[in-house]
Amino acid sequence: MKLRKARIQRKGRIEIIPMIDVMFFLLATFMLASLSMQHLDALKVNLPQGQAEQLSAEKPLTLTITAEGKILINRTPVTLISLTAALKPLLTTADKNVVVAADDKAPQGIVVRAMLQARAAGAAHFLIAVAHD
């Protein structure tokens, strides 16, 4: 009677291709999730084209100037005269950054005057919103 060997011992191997697929899937998922978290509290305006770094703040204070010259703070309409009074309580001691989202066709004089009023309210830095190429 012939007896067989119980089992042939095979060395285990790690398959790397499925692991790479999983890593690319996770990378794509996290990239899409982080893109959906980016939120500017501004109206839709035609921004000028340019290159800029992404914002790191969770919810930045946004100063929007439309093509018609209307001024809004986080979607709340204000006038040029009341801009300083409306902006002062919104600027915290830690974060004095203001995102300026001015329409490409907005009058330059109104944009500059709005920025000067924001500076008078205590804004330290202005971040100019641009559309990516």
The fold for domain 61-128 equals Nucleotidyltransferase; domain 5 (3.30.420)
Domain layout of the chain by residue ranges: 61-128
Count of CB atoms situated within 10 Å of the CB of 73: 22
**For residue range 57-110, what is the model confidence (pLDDT) as tens digits?**
456 788 999 989 899 988 888 988 898 888 888 887 667 788 898 888 888 888
Count of CB atoms situated within 10 Å of the CB of 65: 24
**For residue range 9-68, what is the model confidence (pLDDT) as tens digits?**
777 777 888 889 999 999 999 888 887 766 555 566 676 677 766 655 456 788 999 989
Q: What is the pTM of this model?
A: 0.56
Contact 39, 21 (CB under 8 A): no
Residue of 120 and 53 predicted with greater confidence: 120
In percent, the amount of the chain with pLDDT more than 70 equals 77
